Amino acid sequence: MAVTEKQIMDALRQVKDPELGRDVITLGMIKDLTVSGGKVSLTLELTTPACPVRETFEQDLKTALAAVPGVTEIELKTTAQVRSVAAFGSQSIAGVSNVIAIASGKGGVGKSTVSVNLAVALARDGARVGLMDADIYGPNIPLMMGLTQLPALSGDKIVPAENFGVKVMSMGFLVKPDEAIIWRGPMLHGAISKFLKEVVWGELDYLLVDLPPGTGDVQLSLSQVIAMSGALIVTTPQDVALMDVRKSITMFEKVKVPLLGVVENMSSFICPHCNKATDIFDKGGGVRAAEQMKIPFLGEIPLLLQVREGSDSGHPVVLTHPDSPASQAFVQIARRLAARVSVLAAAAPAADPVWKT
């Protein structure tokens, strides 16, 4: 008896996205399905190329199809289409599916290092990624991304610099390294608006925005002028950092920006000689903060010499030492972050009108 498309569809309905909790047929993730004799050909369209359970997903599909009587051959292709979270602010940017704020309550927690390595990790997984340095007073992203050239111009628009597959814009490109920026709130607001409206970001799955510490003018401006998919909070384990993290979380809740999760940086120091882990900054603070604030905890990043060296040299650790514990943590956190965005996008209403660039 020949295999029917109905049999295949019924089998596929048994396979659920573990993050979204619904089957692949309902979610529209199956494309180009053909059944010819005992051969089944189909494409699985993931909600992100950085899917943390991609291999498991593919195996579950093959297992479900192989159980259908008469199936002798399975041809499975996997692609990804990142879906946009609904606009929670004023407007979104044409071509940019999701804007993600990377924030912290206080300085010194390694937020920019986290931003850089997450951006590069997402790009290595196949996502189209941009990184906007919104720390106007202390723009360190160009150094960390190994970029020194000025962005080009296209008419009256700015073309972002690019390295490691990530598009980058920063005030660091526009001022001398030793030049202090002494601006009041309205000027900061103008700079943020310019980076969003007058930069040719192109087609991006994720635009990560590295925010300055605290809950000041830049954070407020960003929440007012752009539709953000959510915010990721970076902390270190000690109580001093966690006190300010809670303030940052509360701020995003007040301006109705979804909280994507908490990341704990510098969780423990790993000795380069004996590989022993030492909890210099206490232990478990990020988990406790996430539990108390009822938002997901996305992972811990150990403190390694290679992380600092990568930031100073402009070669992120996820590239220079991909097998190190820190790199593996960055990759897993990037994938969990992408999964969180997919979950919100699945429940999102239509987005607001976009800026035309």
The answer, yes or no, to whether residue 257 has pLDDT greater than 70, is: yes
The better pLDDT of the pair 19, 141 is held by: 141
Closest by alpha carbon to 192, among 167, 209, 204?
209
Owner of token pair 């189909």: 42
3-state secondary structure of 311: helix
Structural domains for the chain: 5-80 (3.30.300.130), 92-355 (3.40.50.300)
Q: Are 339 and 129 in contact (CB under 8 A)?
A: no
% of the chain exceeding 90 in pLDDT: 50
- Asked if pLDDT for residue 225 goes beyond 70, the answer is yes
User: Is 90 exceeded by the pLDDT of residue 20?
Assistant: no
Q: What is the mean pLDDT of residues 258-263?
A: 93
Cα 140–chain centre separation: 19
The 10 Å Cβ neighbour count of residue 106 is 18
Cβ-based neighbours of 260, under 8 Å, separated by 6 or more: 100, 229, 230, 231, 232, 295, 296, 298, 337, 340, 341, 344
Burial of 280 (0-12, 13-18, 19+ CB in 10 A): middle
Please give the pLDDT value at position 215.
62
pLDDT of residue 182: 63
pLDDT at position 1:
63
pTM: 0.88
Query: What pLDDT, in 10s, does the model give residues 153-172?
Result: 888 889 999 999 999 998 88
Instruction: Tell me the backbone φ, ψ of residue 57, rounded to 5 degrees.
Output: -60, -50
Instruction: Indicate the DSSP class of residue 236.
Output: -
Summarize pLDDT for 59-114 with one digit per residue, the tens.
999 999 999 999 999 999 999 999 888 654 447 788 899 999 998 877 778 899 99
Please determine, for residue 353, whether its predicted confidence score (pLDDT) is greater than 50.
no
Say what percent of the chain tops pLDDT 70.
89
Mean per-residue pLDDT of the chain: 85
Lowest mean per-residue pLDDT among 23-37, 99-113, 166-180: 166-180
- Condensed to tens digits (0 to 9), the pLDDT of residues 290-329 reads 888 889 999 999 988 899 999 999 999 999 999 999 999 9
